[in-house]
Amino acid sequence: MDCVFCAIAERRLPAHRLYEDDDFIVLLDIFPMRPAHVLIVSRLHAPFLRDLPVSVRERLLTLAERMAGALREAGYGVNGINLLINDGPDSNQHVPHLHLHLIPRRPGDLPALLWRLLVRFLPLGRKRLEARLQGEAERLRLILGKEN
């Protein structure tokens, strides 16, 4: 089976891309846990964090900090963002390709977060969700573009 993140990296699959460089692609999760749920995906097919070259691993948190800043500037996760790596199949890693989740949080959002955990892969309200993702992507790209 083909890796979905490799297909996105090779532009064989669409994605709400926010940023790219030689080592990473930053995109919105199409099954978000919360609004503006961002993924930092390694361009290299690396199932585990240990499979990334050290130089790439060292850049991961720097890029995460930059993306967290953009999320906060856009009004997402102003007081909290979960950074999450599911490292291997026993850790609930759905795609065996290294990716870091940035999940913006709000006060009192735990019930909604838990509900999303249960239903996130169901095709409920996909059109509305797709429109929301498009708006989030445009907003974040604008902020990231101002950094350059």
Please name each of the domains of the chain with its CATH number.
4-145 (3.30.428.10)
pLDDT, tens digit, 9 for 90 and up, residues 63-82: 999 999 999 999 999 999 99
Residue-level pLDDT at 113: 86
Torsion angles phi and psi, residue 38, rounded to 5: -105, 145
Distance CA 64, CA 69 (A): 9
Residue 101 near residue 29 (C-beta atoms within 8 A): yes
Annotation marks residue 16 as catalytic: no
Q: Is residue 118 predicted with pLDDT exceeding 90? A: no
Residue-level pLDDT at 58: 94
Specify the pTM: 0.91
Residue with tokens 């429109």: 131
Residue 124 near residue 116 (C-beta atoms within 8 A): no
Distance CA 130, CA 116 (A): 16
CA angle, residues 109, 113, 116, in degrees to nearest 5: 140
Residue-level pLDDT at 148: 55
Catalytic residue among 37, 97, 99, 101: 99
